[in-house]
Amino acid sequence: MLSKRGLTLLAVSGILFTAGAIFGNIVFIAMSLPPFFLFVLSVVLIPPHRITGDSPEIPKKLWIGQEFVFTRKIIIDGGVGAVKIFQKLPDEMELLEGNNLKILWKWWGTETVEITCRLRCIKKGECAIPPLQWQTDNVIGTSSQGRIGEVLETIAWPRLLTPGQIKSLPSIAVTPFPLADIPRVGIPSTDFREIRGYVAGDPVKNINWKATARRQTNSPLVNEYEKEGKKAVLLFMDVTATAQAGNSLDSLLEYAIEATSNFVLYFSNRGYKVGLAINSMPPLFFYPDSGRRQTIMILPKLNQLKPDTNTVPLIEVIEAFSNNVLNFDPLSIIITSLDGDTRNALPDSLRKLKTYYSRRRRFPILMVNITARDMIPQPPDYESSIPSLMSLWARPRVRSISSSGISIANWNPKRETFRTMMSRQVKRR
Amino acid sequence: MKKLNKFVAVIEVTLIVLMSIIAASSLFGSSTRSIMLVFGLIITGVLTIVWKNWHPEVFSFIVLFTTVPCVLRHNNVDLLARVMSHSTVGISTTLIESLGLAFVTIIGYLMLKTLNAIQIEHRELIDSQAEKNEIRSVTHDKFIAVSILVFFSGIISILVALLSNSLATGISTYLSHFSGNIIAVGLGILMLLAACLYWMGRTLKS
């Protein structure tokens, strides 16, 4: 494609030549030659156009916060000119080290360049690294462009705790946290739960011979049945409060999802019935159930949640879930933030939730308050005390909720991991 | 101004000064008016090209306009004979001197044009957060490539101008013997020109 600069050169040459022809002036005609020959030489020197590269492999599954190195090797051949290579990164990834833009001037011969970036996954969900884009320009701006490689797809999941990271012994807990509580697990009922691998000590009558024959495994498979008197945990995720803080790169909702996913996984692995209500639009309800099936059903849905200001009030979700609170007498965990704009609506929701429990000194309600103050970029000089002021501002509200018989777990994701916060909750007298 | 490539800016200023001196001296010779014009042209060039980073067409047109009285003295078709006979500006120069003046003006314009593009690209690259050493390397190499191309275009043009000047008389004398075939020769040259243009068009398309 002829560039604007090339056209200007031709136009200047044409005007001078015409002037020379009209006046019969050899000087004007001579003046018309350099722009013309510069144009011809620039046309002969085409920009680099044979650009090839490899398609690197990236992990198919990533955890939020996981870092990995992304390298692409590019071979540039043919032509002379400036080469600009750009690797666009998806919103879910943050560039930690290196540069995703490479520029160079290519003379004759073949050039090999490498783009190396250290990336970190910052948001959950499906993400795709698009093909590498290149653009080349010659001296007068004649350019060509193209793409290298294929779209590389991956899925980012919230950070999940591995089993056994938080251990507890049966005793009386300071907080109504069931993992430190004395469990009331009874005898197995006749309600089928799931099929799992045989473990030493399992009754022989529970072996599912048909399933074992069908799977053709070395160890037998056994049926597992629900146990009577199982404890339940109900989770209420407040999207309204958590969606408001943070930015496109670092959102409070991401941490809320991480907390919810970990609670689901943790209690499911320990045999609790886990239910979840999310006040998104439309609201999402997962009725209390136990086993891996429940985890498999909840986690992908959480992974698809996007920040949205259009939400349902938390109190409506609590009302809709009230039957489960009355039936199971569960531990209720509310994942929210007092730094959001819903701080006035939150006490009403908590008050409503308390009415479903019998009157006692301390309700089995835990509020996980995700603090956003450290997510605010530190402005210079006099504004740098904003995080401290936010902390002081939220303090009376925290005290008021705490004095009403509700346990509060403050989690500052910028200062501690979710595991640290959980460990703090299981301390005993 | 902050994102200016200093090396390119120095070259631009040098070219502006050189073009201004040559253009002014071609109009007024070595008089006081000439010095005033030099300063005026330098200020215009530095303000428009280096400071504001505008395209160099404005400055180059003023320079060309300044050299026109001197260049028009070599007209073969004397369309402006009446005007030029009363003209008090523009020193009389030989053809070679006028050609030198013309080449300095046009080569200066071409260099300013490409250097201006380099400055704009340099600024864009800084905005796109490319590595500083990469930007420096690309700007440097591009300047070398541009200089080589402009130099070769100038050399080819001088050769063509000198050759055509010396060959013109001989060819015209030779062609005068074939007065009946002059149309065929003209058509042949036109066809050759058309073929050249076609080839260039094909190359650009591909």
Q: How far apart are CA A128 and CA A89, in angstroms?
A: 8
Q: pLDDT per position in chain B (206 positions), as tens? A: 557 788 888 999 999 999 999 999 888 887 888 889 899 999 998 888 888 778 888 899 999 989 888 888 777 776 665 666 666 666 778 888 888 889 999 999 999 998 988 888 888 888 888 888 888 888 899 999 989 999 998 888 888 877 877 777 777 777 777 666 667 777 888 899 889 888 877 776 66
d(CA B198, nearest CA chain A) in Å? 13
* Chain A residue numbers touching B131 (CB-CB < 8 A): 99, 103
CB contact under 8 A, B149 and A41: yes
Please name the residues in contact with B69: beta carbons below 8 A apart, sequence gap of 6 or more.
B26, B27, B84, B87, B89, B90
Cβ distance A46 to B129 less than 8 Å, yes or no, reads: no
* Cβ-based neighbours of A218, under 8 Å, separated by 6 or more: none
Nearest to B142 among A12, A37, A82 (CB): A82
In tens, the pLDDT along A201-212 reads: 788 888 989 988
* Best A10, A23, A27 residue to mutate vs chain B (most B CBs within 10 Å): A27
A393: pLDDT confidence band, cut at 50, 70 and 90?
confident
Residue in B71, B130, B152 closest to A101 by CB: B130
Q: For chain B, what are the domain ranges? A: 6-205
Distance in angstroms (rounded) separating the CA atoms of residues A275 and A268: 10
- The pLDDT of residue A277: 93
Q: Is B140 helix (H, G, I), strand (E, B) or coil?
A: helix
- The average pLDDT across A148-174 equals 68
Task: Retrieve residue B203's tokens.
Answer: 């190359």
Per-residue model confidence (pLDDT) at position A164? 55
Mutation test of the interface with chain B: which of A31, A86, A138, A144, choosing the one with the most B Cβ atoms within 10 A?
A: A31
- Quote the ipTM score: 0.83
Given a contact cutoff of 8 angstroms between Cβ atoms, the answer to whether A117 and A175 are in contact is: no
* Nearest residue of chain B to residue A137 (CA atoms): B142
Q: Residue A429 has what pLDDT?
A: 41
Position B42 scores a pLDDT of 92
Strand (E) or helix (H) holding A233: strand A232-237
Question: Helix or strand or coil: residue A52?
Answer: strand
Cβ distance of A37 and B113 shorter than 8 Å: no
Which of B203, B204, B205, B206 is the best residue to mutate to test the A interface, defined by the most A CB atoms within 10 Å of its own CB?
B204
Report yes or no: A190 and A225 within 8 Å, Cβ to Cβ. yes
Task: Look at residue B15 in the predicted model and tell me its pLDDT.
Answer: 93
- Beta carbons within 8 Å of A72's beta carbon, 6+ residues apart: A53, A54, A56, A87, A114, A115, A132, A148, A149
Local structure of B1: helix, strand or coil? coil
What predicted TM-score, i.e. pTM, was given to this entire model?
Answer: 0.66
Q: Between chains, do B74 and A102 touch, taking CB under 8 Å as contact?
A: no
Q: Is the confidence at residue A251, as pLDDT, over 90?
A: no
A285: confidence class by pLDDT, cuts 50, 70, 90: very high
Whether residue A43 and residue B156 make contact (CB cut-off 8 A), yes or no, is no
A386 or A44, which is more confident? Answer: A44
Q: Which of residues A238 and B93 earns the better pLDDT score?
A: A238
Q: Do B117 and A25 touch (CB under 8 A)?
A: no
Q: What is the pLDDT of residues A346-361, one digit of tens each?
A: 888 888 888 888 766 6
| Residue A375 dihedral angles phi and psi, to the nearest 5° | -85, -15
Of residues A21 and A176, which shows the higher confidence score?
A21
Contact between A30 and B102 using a beta-carbon 8 Å cutoff: yes
By C-alpha distance, the chain B residue nearest A16 is B106
Q: How far is A302 from chain B (nearest CA, A)?
A: 36
Across A284-288, average pLDDT: 90
How far off is chain B from A398, nearest CA to CA, in Å? 44
CA B149 to chain centre: 13
- Give the mean pLDDT of A108-117: 88
Task: Report the C-alpha gap between A102 and A114 in whole angstroms.
Answer: 9
Q: Specify whether the CB–CB gap between A288 and A324 falls below 8 A.
A: yes
